[in-house]
Amino acid sequence: MSNKQILRSEDVLQKYGESLVGKTVLITGVSNESIAGELAIQLASVSPKLLILSARAESKVTPVINQIKQKNANVGTLFLNMDLSDFSSIRKAAQDGLAGVSKIDHLICVAGVMICPYGKTVDGFETQLGVNYLSNFLLIKLLLPKIEVAGPSASIIVVSSSSVRSGKIHFDDIGFSEGKTYDSYAAYGQSNAARTMFAKKLPEKLKGKGIRIFSIDPGAVQSGLQRHFTEDFQAQVGEMMKAGYLIDMDGKKFDFPPWTSRSEGAANIITGMIDPTIAG
Ligand SMILES: NC(=O)c1ccc[n+]([C@@H]2O[C@H](COP(=O)([O-])OP(=O)(O)OC[C@H]3O[C@@H](n4cnc5c(N)ncnc54)[C@H](OP(=O)(O)O)[C@@H]3O)[C@@H](O)[C@H]2O)c1
């Protein structure tokens, strides 16, 4: 029998949420149907000072802000307009959008795309690599000074996926020959390998600064992410779920996670941010 326990955000916040009182949290990928949107609404219950909510359209964030205000009118909110497929938009957000913010206690990089049709970012990178990984690299680099100011309780969370287990970097052809050899699942795996290895390497670079850094797999969460799932792919997922396992790049089986709610997906992120039992 499995001894795994699936926690809701409410459970983790009840235990450790106190440490978020008065903090400033920046979250990317906020919308009414995303894990990031749910995370923002959940965090409102523990009275952070400011929730900086990033998306590429304000209309995505407005319904989330309304729910935050209903939950806790004292929480400050700031919409940060940022398109993660455009480095100039990230630079502009970091410089102008956050000009009035002197410290960020928790930087939570949740935004991402999954198995989308082939495309390129404004800067010419394959979309999934660009949005899921390169954008996080640049954003974290630009915001490091504000995170360092926050001190030892600060965190950087990079949301990734269990697809990292079958994902690899295609060093000889990272852009899938301008789309000619594009395999959307391989590209998703590549982007997750990149963002996971980045989160593993970053603590070495930031040694001694006391910043918690984790990559997080939210599990299998019903959200807007499934928008590019074809019927064929859904059938494939159904088969894998029935079998109960997936196979990693070394041919080893690993458990297929059960479908969970967004609260349960966000709980993994909150654990990464504040659970003291995994500090260090
Ligand atoms: N759901 C799961 O089962 C699952 C499993 C493993 C990992 N993940 C990871 O979890 C993260 C969150 O996914 P989710 O389930 O919450 O999916 P979601 O509902 O699709 O949310 C993703 C968010 O990222 C935003 N985004 C996409 N491209 C962007 C861009 N160029 N610039 C700015 N924002 C952009 C989307 O905004 P728009 O609406 O503007 O596109 C959306 O708000 C992703 O990184 C995903 O890979 C999810």
Taking only the tens place, the pLDDT of each residue in 213-264 is: 999 999 999 888 877 888 888 888 788 878 888 888 888 888 888 889 999 9
Helices (H), ranges, 99-207 = 127-129, 135-150, 184-205
For the chain, the structural domain boundaries read 9-229+261-278
**Axis crossing angle, helix 9-16 with helix 262-274, rounded to the nearest 10:** 30
Task: Compute the distance between CA of residue 142 and CA of residue 89 in angstroms, rounded to an integer.
Answer: 12
The answer to whether residue 3 scores a pLDDT higher than 80 is no
**Axis crossing angle, helix 9-16 with helix 35-43, rounded to the nearest 10:** 40
Ligand 1 pocket check for 218: Cβ under 6 Å: yes
Q: Which CATH superfamily is domain 9-229+261-278 in?
A: NAD(P)-binding Rossmann-like Domain (3.40.50.720)
User: Does residue 188 carry a catalytic annotation?
Assistant: yes
Q: Which residues contact 173 (CB under 8 A, 6 or more apart)?
A: 181
Question: CA 211, 214, 218, 224 torsion: positive or negative?
Answer: positive
Ligand 1 pocket check for 114: Cβ under 6 Å: yes
Helices (H), ranges, the chain = 9-16, 35-43, 58-71, 87-92, 127-129, 135-150, 184-205, 231-243, 262-274
**Interval 18-45: pLDDT, tens:** 999 999 999 999 999 999 999 999 999 9
Distance 112 CA to ligand 1 centre (A): 4
**Could you tell me whether strands 253-255 and 245-247 are parallel, antiparallel, or unpaired per DSSP bridges?**
antiparallel
